[in-house]
Amino acid sequence: MDAMFLPDVTDWEGNRWWPWRAVEDWEGALRALCRDEGISFQTIQPTVDTANAVFILDRRFVVKISPPWEAETLPVERELLEFLEQKPAIPAPRLLASGIFEDRIAWPYLIAEYLPGEGFDRVREGMDRGNLLAVARRMGEIIRDFADIDPGAFSTFSPPAGTWREFFARGKNKAIEALREDRRLPESLRGNLLDFLEANSVEELVDGPSVLHHADFEPEHVLLVETQGRWGISGLIDYADARVGLREFEWSAAYRRVLDGDSEAMRAFLAGYDPGYRDESFCLKCLVVYLTDGEPGLVGWLCYELERAGYPINTVQELQDRLFPPISWE
pLDDT digits (tens, 9 = 90+) for 239-279: 988 989 899 999 999 999 999 999 999 999 999 999 999 99
Q: Which of the pair, 138 or 162, is modelled with greater confidence?
A: 138
**Poorest-pLDDT segment among 44-53, 140-149, 291-300:** 44-53
Return the minimum-mean-pLDDT range out of 32-46, 70-84, 279-293. Answer: 70-84
Give the angle subtended at the CA of 266 by the CAs of 261 and 271, to the nearest 5°. Answer: 175
Write down the domain spans for the chain: 23-113, 118-323
Q: What is the mean pLDDT of residues 98-103?
A: 88
Q: Give the per-residue pLDDT at 21.
A: 66
* Partners of 204 in the β-ladder: none
| Low-confidence winner among 67-81, 106-120, 164-178, 229-243 (lowest mean pLDDT) | 67-81
* pLDDT at residue 1, rounded to an integer: 46
* CATH code for the part of the protein at 23-113: 3.30.200.20
Confidence of residue 206 (pLDDT cuts 50, 70, 90): confident
pLDDT at residue 42 in the model? 95
Pick 69 or 230 by higher pLDDT: 230
Structure confidence by residue, pLDDT tens digits, 8-17: 766 655 545 5
HEC string of the chain equals: CCCCCCCCCCCCCCCCCCCCCCHHHHHHHHHHHHHHCCCCCCCEEECCCCCCEEEEECCCEEEEECCHHHCCHHHHHHHHHHHHCCCCCCCCCCEEEEEEEEECEEEEEEEEECCCCEEHHHHHHHCCHHHHHHHHHHHHHHHHHHHCCCHHHCCCCCCCCCCHHHHHHHHHHHHHHHHHHCCCCCHHHHHHHHHHHHHCCHHHCCCCCCEEECCCCCHHHEEEEEECCEEEEEEECCCCCCEEECHHHHHHHHHHHHCCCCHHHHHHHHHHHCCCCCCCCHHHHHHHHHHHCCCCCHHHHHHHHHHHHCCCCCCHHHHHHHHCCCCCCC
Angle between helices 164-181 and 282-292 (to 10 degrees): 70
Of 235, 220, 89, 215, residue with least CA distance to 160: 215
Backbone angles phi, psi at 169, to 5 degrees: -65, -45
**Pairing mode, strands 61-65 and 95-103:** unpaired
Is the pLDDT score of 123 beyond 50? yes
Are the C-beta atoms of residues 197 and 222 closer than 8 Å to each other?
A: no
**CB distance 205 to 285 below 8 Å:** yes
Higher per-residue pLDDT: 20 or 36: 36
Q: Does domain 118-323 bear CATH number 3.90.1200.10?
A: yes
pLDDT at position 136 is 98
Of the candidates 51, 31, 42, 43, the one whose C-alpha atom is nearest the C-alpha of residue 101 is 31
